[in-house]
Structure 1
Amino acid sequence: MPSVIAIVVAFDSAEALPECLGALKAEGVGVIVVDNASSDGSATEAERLGACVIRNARNEGYGRANNIGGWAADSEFLLIVNPDVVVEPGTVATLLDAAERYPDAALFAPQIVEPNGRVFYQPRSLLAGYLENPIGKLAIPDGEACAPFFSGACFLIRRETFLRLGGFDESIFLFYEDDDLCRRITDSQAALVYVPKAIVRHGRGRSSARRPGLVFKSRWHQAWSRAYVSHKYGLYNPAAGMFFVNGLKTLGAALTGQRKLIERYGGSAAGALAYMRGRTALEQEGLS
């Protein structure tokens, strides 16, 4: 059994895949690319680069596609990797070393460096309500540390834990699936560990090619998923407030003819309204 297999979910990601998969190959990591019905040849490109490819007949969403890859993998660990993420040399070995040293931990997060050199570190989450000082000044740890939330852009997780918890919540098509998974890990009394010596570069926005309507769709799911996870964990449901605020912003943008803002705010208002009306994200995508 290999120690780790990387799962990369692709959706029109052909441009980003060569660098992502090339870095994983250099680390000696096997890769499963789960292609969400891309139209740009992502699946063919992934096969050319030596990855095992699972071709979904339709776009199953980020979490659901990762679950498909997780079930197909035969390894002790899963490395969840966005296609616009590039692992630095030695990163995978460093994460595996941390996993050996912390047997009671389930998830291991690398240091994520953005294109401008900024380190992305956000231990706060909508679902991490037990933080003692949630609005305090953010201090990035110099060394390994525990936190209740890490980004889903790249992390190492014990496959047994991932499958036992049911993987990502399959009711979510996009957004907040990493918050939800991290919450369920902490609720299971397992730790999440930050490993800053493991470094990845995140290309932000290069995961999928731009297409008309993408902003509206993205904002729709962001609003819907926020309302969904809030209700799931008994938090204040923000759907009505999101609909009201974004509805007003949409009207304002329409009066001034700002089409980009109409799409942005309109998507958020529509997602919130859909949740209040009982429509699911899967119904929205034709998956139910």
Structure 2
Amino acid sequence: MTTGYDTEKAQAAAWFRSLRDQITTAFEALEDGFAAATPPGRFEVTPTTRDSGGGGEMSVMRNGRVFEKVGVNISTVFGTLGAPAQKAMAARGVPGMAEDPRFWAAGISLVAHMQNPHTPAVHMNTRMFWTPHAWWFGGGADLNPCIEYADDTAHFHAELQAACDAHHPDYYGKFKAWADEYFFIPHRGRARGVGGIFYDDLNTGDWAADFAFTQDVGRAFLRAFLPVTERRLGTTASAADRETQLLHRGLYAEYNLVYDRGTKFGLETGHNPDAVLMSLPPVAKWY
């Protein structure tokens, strides 16, 4: 049985906050560096609470020069899992949930929807989850262009592969395949984007090694995403490009509301719904 882990929990929560700060600083610098008639966007930070224990912070930028909407949320929550969440955990092989359903979780979740249809939307999250019976890490990142460029896709995947290869030669192939499966939209018969990596239930028995890997996934994000964004900022977008973007956002919204594990878990465990649904685009269309 796994008990305690108070030091490890504190380290993980502090890292997710540090990563949030690194990303929001880089995104505001990107806003400053792109010449436009409108003011550069800035993040608005709002505390969030969970009635049953814990909370976090929403950092959201709207109507910037580069980002139409981007959220970088952190949270640290704890309490007792309800029956649906207990059932889901038991189905994933977590023992003893009926006897002791306490949990603790901390993480960072990012979704960016861009102004220019030629710059891809993106998602990234990493987290640590603990129960008295087990602990694990999870997360990943995936790129969601409405207009795909092969060199952007290649660059994004190369940076994630480098982060994976530094820890285990099998990680990239395994976690890329998992992302391809996880980010697939069955009712549309297609993926929501061009993939990336996804992992969950990561517990090799070496907490420090698994935490180090999760940190490196977080560090790889800016290296993977910023160059892709910067090379497309000056691309002229047509009205047809905007229409393509809005329809693709509808696809993204469908996935997040119907299939996404994080959305389901957040709503089922009583977290702030605005924070849980931060991932939804500001404007979208359907046929």
What's the TM-score once normalised by structure 1's chain length? 0.26
1 or 2, which has the higher strand percentage? 2
1 or 2, which has the higher helix percentage? 2
Q: Which has the higher contact order (CA 8 A, sep 6+)?
A: 1
